[in-house]
Protein backbone atom coordinates (compact mmCIF):
# COMPACT_ATOMS: atom_id res chain seq x y z
CA UNK A 1 0.00 0.00 0.00
CA UNK A 2 1.24 3.44 -0.88
CA UNK A 3 1.56 5.86 2.03
CA UNK A 4 -0.69 8.90 2.31
CA UNK A 5 2.35 11.01 1.58
CA UNK A 6 3.07 9.13 -1.66
CA UNK A 7 -0.57 9.46 -2.70
CA UNK A 8 -0.39 13.21 -2.06
CA UNK A 9 2.77 13.45 -4.18
CA UNK A 10 1.07 11.53 -6.98
CA UNK A 11 -1.97 13.84 -6.83
CA UNK A 12 0.38 16.80 -7.11
CA UNK A 13 1.93 15.25 -10.25
CA UNK A 14 -1.52 14.55 -11.71
CA UNK A 15 -2.46 18.22 -11.28
CA UNK A 16 0.41 19.20 -13.60
CA UNK A 17 -1.07 17.43 -16.65
CA UNK A 18 -4.26 17.80 -18.67
CA UNK A 19 -4.73 13.98 -18.50
CA UNK A 20 -4.21 11.81 -15.42
CA UNK A 21 -2.48 9.14 -17.49
CA UNK A 22 0.42 11.50 -18.20
CA UNK A 23 1.41 11.26 -14.53
CA UNK A 24 2.08 7.52 -14.78
CA UNK A 25 5.89 7.72 -14.94
CA UNK A 26 6.21 10.22 -12.08
CA UNK A 27 3.77 8.10 -10.05
CA UNK A 28 5.90 5.00 -10.61
CA UNK A 29 9.03 6.88 -9.57
CA UNK A 30 7.31 8.02 -6.38
CA UNK A 31 6.17 4.47 -5.63
CA UNK A 32 9.57 2.95 -6.26
CA UNK A 33 11.32 5.61 -4.20
CA UNK A 34 9.07 4.73 -1.29
CA UNK A 35 8.97 0.94 -1.64
CA UNK A 36 12.15 0.08 -3.54
CA UNK A 37 10.21 -1.82 -6.19
CA UNK A 38 6.80 -1.93 -7.89
CA UNK A 39 4.64 -4.81 -6.74
CA UNK A 40 1.51 -6.05 -8.52
CA UNK A 41 -0.57 -4.48 -5.75
CA UNK A 42 1.18 -1.14 -6.22
CA UNK A 43 0.56 -1.31 -9.97
CA UNK A 44 -3.14 -1.87 -9.27
CA UNK A 45 -3.21 0.98 -6.78
CA UNK A 46 -1.56 3.36 -9.25
CA UNK A 47 -3.91 2.20 -12.01
CA UNK A 48 -6.85 3.01 -9.78
CA UNK A 49 -5.52 6.47 -8.86
CA UNK A 50 -4.71 7.33 -12.48
CA UNK A 51 -7.88 5.67 -13.78
CA UNK A 52 -6.27 3.34 -16.27
CA UNK A 53 -6.16 -0.46 -16.51
CA UNK A 54 -3.56 -2.31 -14.38
CA UNK A 55 -2.18 -3.91 -17.57
CA UNK A 56 -1.29 -0.44 -18.87
CA UNK A 57 0.79 0.16 -15.74
CA UNK A 58 2.38 -3.29 -16.09
CA UNK A 59 3.32 -2.54 -19.71
CA UNK A 60 5.24 0.56 -18.66
CA UNK A 61 6.88 -1.05 -15.62
CA UNK A 62 8.05 -4.06 -17.62
CA UNK A 63 9.35 -1.88 -20.48
CA UNK A 64 11.74 0.27 -18.43
CA UNK A 65 14.63 -1.45 -16.64
CA UNK A 66 14.70 1.45 -14.18
CA UNK A 67 11.61 -0.01 -12.53
CA UNK A 68 12.12 -3.06 -10.35
CA UNK A 69 9.44 -5.72 -10.57
CA UNK A 70 10.97 -7.64 -7.68
CA UNK A 71 12.45 -6.52 -4.37
CA UNK A 72 16.08 -5.43 -4.62
CA UNK A 73 18.84 -4.93 -2.09
CA UNK A 74 19.95 -1.59 -0.72
CA UNK A 75 22.32 -1.22 -3.65
CA UNK A 76 21.11 -2.29 -7.07
CA UNK A 77 24.08 -2.88 -9.36
CA UNK A 78 23.03 -2.90 -13.01
CA UNK A 79 25.78 -3.81 -15.44
CA UNK A 80 25.28 -2.86 -19.07
CA UNK A 81 25.97 -5.79 -21.37
CA UNK A 82 25.03 -4.12 -24.65
CA UNK A 83 27.37 -3.79 -27.62
CA UNK A 84 29.85 -1.07 -26.61
CA UNK A 85 30.11 -2.33 -23.05
CA UNK A 86 30.46 -5.93 -24.22
CA UNK A 87 33.26 -4.99 -26.59
CA UNK A 88 35.04 -3.42 -23.64
CA UNK A 89 34.72 -6.47 -21.36
CA UNK A 90 31.54 -5.86 -19.41
CA UNK A 91 31.25 -9.65 -19.04
CA UNK A 92 34.55 -9.67 -17.13
CA UNK A 93 33.20 -6.89 -14.92
CA UNK A 94 30.05 -8.88 -14.32
CA UNK A 95 32.03 -12.03 -13.49
CA UNK A 96 34.19 -10.02 -11.11
CA UNK A 97 31.10 -8.66 -9.35
CA UNK A 98 29.62 -12.15 -9.10
CA UNK A 99 32.85 -13.43 -7.55
CA UNK A 100 33.18 -10.52 -5.13
CA UNK A 101 29.54 -10.62 -4.01
CA UNK A 102 29.13 -14.40 -4.10
CA UNK A 103 25.90 -14.16 -6.10
CA UNK A 104 24.80 -14.72 -9.68
CA UNK A 105 23.11 -12.16 -11.91
CA UNK A 106 19.52 -11.64 -10.77
CA UNK A 107 20.31 -12.50 -7.16
CA UNK A 108 20.54 -10.50 -3.94
CA UNK A 109 23.15 -11.01 -1.24
CA UNK A 110 21.91 -12.68 1.97
CA UNK A 111 22.33 -9.45 3.94
CA UNK A 112 20.01 -7.76 1.42
CA UNK A 113 22.67 -5.23 0.60
CA UNK A 114 23.42 -5.90 -3.09
CA UNK A 115 21.33 -7.00 -6.04
CA UNK A 116 23.15 -7.72 -9.30
CA UNK A 117 21.41 -7.30 -12.67
CA UNK A 118 22.28 -6.78 -16.30
CA UNK A 119 20.68 -4.03 -18.37
CA UNK A 120 20.52 -2.93 -21.96
CA UNK A 121 22.31 0.22 -23.13
CA UNK A 122 22.01 3.09 -20.66
CA UNK A 123 23.27 5.65 -23.16
CA UNK A 124 26.75 5.90 -21.74
CA UNK A 125 28.49 3.98 -24.52
CA UNK A 126 31.32 6.53 -24.84
CA UNK A 127 32.48 5.65 -21.34
CA UNK A 128 31.94 1.89 -21.55
CA UNK A 129 32.03 -0.42 -19.75
CA UNK A 130 29.61 0.98 -17.21
CA UNK A 131 27.13 0.09 -14.52
CA UNK A 132 24.44 1.94 -12.63
CA UNK A 133 24.34 1.73 -8.84
CA UNK A 134 20.93 2.92 -7.70
CA UNK A 135 20.71 6.31 -9.48
CA UNK A 136 24.40 6.80 -10.09
CA UNK A 137 26.46 5.90 -13.18
CA UNK A 138 29.94 4.40 -12.79
CA UNK A 139 31.87 4.51 -16.04
CA UNK A 140 35.12 3.30 -17.61
CA UNK A 141 34.93 0.36 -15.23
CA UNK A 142 37.91 -1.77 -14.35
CA UNK A 143 38.11 -4.53 -11.76
CA UNK A 144 40.06 -2.16 -9.50
CA UNK A 145 37.36 0.50 -9.86
CA UNK A 146 34.71 -2.05 -8.98
CA UNK A 147 36.63 -3.01 -5.84
CA UNK A 148 36.80 0.64 -4.81
CA UNK A 149 33.06 1.13 -5.45
CA UNK A 150 32.14 -1.96 -3.42
CA UNK A 151 34.44 -0.88 -0.62
CA UNK A 152 32.73 2.54 -0.51
CA UNK A 153 29.31 0.88 -0.20
CA UNK A 154 30.23 -1.32 2.78
S1 LIG B 1 26.35 -0.16 -24.58
FE2 LIG B 1 26.64 0.09 -22.48
S3 LIG B 1 26.01 2.14 -22.14
FE4 LIG B 1 25.62 1.82 -24.25
For the beta sheet containing 114-119, the strands, ordered from the edge strand earlier in sequence to the opposite edge, are 114-119, 75-80, 131-133, 136-138
Same-domain check for residues 80 and 56: no
CATH (domain of 104): 3.40.30.10
What pLDDT does residue 6 have?
A: 97
pLDDT surpassing 90 at residue 154: no
Q: Would 9 be classed as within a structural domain?
A: yes
Q: What is the pLDDT of residues 24-33, one digit of tens each?
A: 999 999 999 9
Over residues 31-54, mean pLDDT: 97
Q: How far apart are CA 114 and CA 107, in angstroms?
A: 8
Q: State how beta strands 114-119 and 75-80 pair.
A: parallel
Helix (H, G, I), strand (E, B) or coil at 153: helix
Report the nearest atom of ligand 1 relative to the CA of 122: 3
pLDDT band, residue 145 (cuts 50/70/90): very high
Same-domain check for residues 140 and 86: yes
Q: How far apart are CA 51 and CA 30, in angstroms?
A: 17
pLDDT surpassing 90 at residue 65: no
For a ligand 1 pocket test, name from 66, 78, 128 the mutation site with the most ligand atoms within 8 angstroms of its C-beta. Answer: 128
Q: Would 68 be classed as within a structural domain?
A: no
Report the nearest atom of ligand 1 relative to the CA of 85: 2
Domain extent at residue 26: 4-63
**Burial of 136: CB neighbours in 10 Å, binned 0-12, 13-18, 19+:** exposed
Q: How far apart are CA 93 and CA 71, in angstroms?
A: 23
Instruction: Identify the residues whose C-beta falls under 6 Å from ligand 1.
Output: 80, 82-85, 121-125, 128, 130
Q: How far apart are CA 131 and CA 117, in angstroms?
A: 10
CA of 66 to the centre of ligand 1 (A): 15
What is the overall mean pLDDT for the chain?
97
- Residue 80 · residue 118 · CB < 8 Å: yes
Over residues 131-144, mean pLDDT: 97
Report the nearest atom of ligand 1 relative to the CA of 121: 4
Total domains present in the chain: 2
Residue 136 phi/psi, 5° resolution?
A: -105, 135
pLDDT band, residue 120 (cuts 50/70/90): very high
CATH (domain of 22): 1.10.10.1590
pLDDT surpassing 90 at residue 74: yes
- Residue 102 · residue 109 · CB < 8 Å: yes
Amino acid sequence: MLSENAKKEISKEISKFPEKKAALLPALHIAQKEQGWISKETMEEIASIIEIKPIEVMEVVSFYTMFNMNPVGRYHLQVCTNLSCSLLNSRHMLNHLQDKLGIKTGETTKDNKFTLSTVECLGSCGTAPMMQVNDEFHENLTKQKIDTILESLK
